[in-house]
Structure 1
Amino acid sequence: METAEIANGLVALCREGKFGEAMKAYYAEGIVSVEANEFTVTGLEACEAKGVEWQSEHEVHGIEVEGPFVGTGMFVVRFKLDVTVKASGKRLIADEVGIYTVEAGKIVREVFLFAGM
């Protein structure tokens, strides 16, 4: 699968809020996921668990997905998530980009960077 095809498929699923389905379809078993604070998980199962944990801690009111912006073997997606943090009740807009690396038809690395950090 070409990088653009993977990027467009991931974006389409994310726009529908189907993040778990996107992971299953496009992530490699050995995916490395790096957050802006350098928290890193390795493996599809760990990445899925991280997503489930995040969803349990946030109430999502809306999602905007921009892109993809595609290069050779990589692409970038911008996410704006209107969420309420359940623990504090604070509502905020999480503005971040995901930088994805593709090898052998699968996403092998994702790095998230946040606006205003």
Structure 2
Amino acid sequence: MNLQTQKDTLEVGRKLVGFCRSNQVVKAIETLYADDVQSREAMDSPGMPSESHGIENALKKNKQWEETMEIHSAQVDGPFPLGDRFAVHFKYDATDKSTNKSWQMEEVGIYTVQNGKIVKEEFFYTM
């Protein structure tokens, strides 16, 4: 394992976690993501397939989340690096704005970094 790769990955991970903790996910995507980023969710959501490509789709997915969910609290732990990847653990207490249903969610995001940019994100969760 290349030590410099792990250091670069850790730096990108720290920046992402910082953006997420300060509720600046759009800025994180614009700053840290590669233009052709791949994104995978555990399942499809209304109007958004579980797999998408490109920074515009990553932004769209995040904006849809912000528009449909009211976040009461969020906890972001990590990053936990391994080579060119890192994991982040997220916990949310949220309400779906359309149904007024409250729920708690936990997910793990696995991010792959190349040349200082996130090229792949994968989210693991159950609902």
After TM superposition, the score normalised by the length of structure 1 is 0.94
Residue 111 (structure 1) shift? 0.3
CA distance in 2, matches of 1:80, 1:18: 16
The residue number in structure 2 matching 1:46 is 57
Identify the residue that residue 62 of structure 1 maps to in structure 2. 73
Distance in 2, matches of 1:65 and 1:93, equals: 14
- Please name the residue that 1:33 is paired with: 39
**What is the CA distance between 1:14 and its match in structure 2?**
0.3
- Structure 1 unaligned runs (5+)? none
Matched, 1:104 2:110: no
Distance 1:59 1:83 in 2: 5
User: Aligned to 1:88, which of 89, 99, 103?
Assistant: 99
Residue-pair matches, total: 116
* Structure 1 position 54, deviation (Å): 1.1
Give the TM-score, by structure 2 length: 0.87
Distance in 2 (CA, whole Å) between partners of 1:84 and 1:37 is: 19
Amino acid paired to 2:84: G
Q: Deviations over 1:19-54 (max 9, x none)?
A: 111111110000011000161111001110111011
Question: Percent identical across equivalent pairs?
Answer: 38
CA shift, 1:95, in A, is 0.4
Is 2:26 aligned against 1:20?
yes
Amino acid at match of 2:113: V
1:74 aligns with 2:85: yes
**Aligned match of 2:47:** none
Quote the Cα distance in structure 2 between the aligned partners of 1:2 and 1:66.
Answer: 18
Could you tell me which runs of 5 or more consecutive residues in structure 2 were left unpaired when the two chains were aligned: 1-6, 45-49
Equivalent position amino acid for 1:56 in 2? E
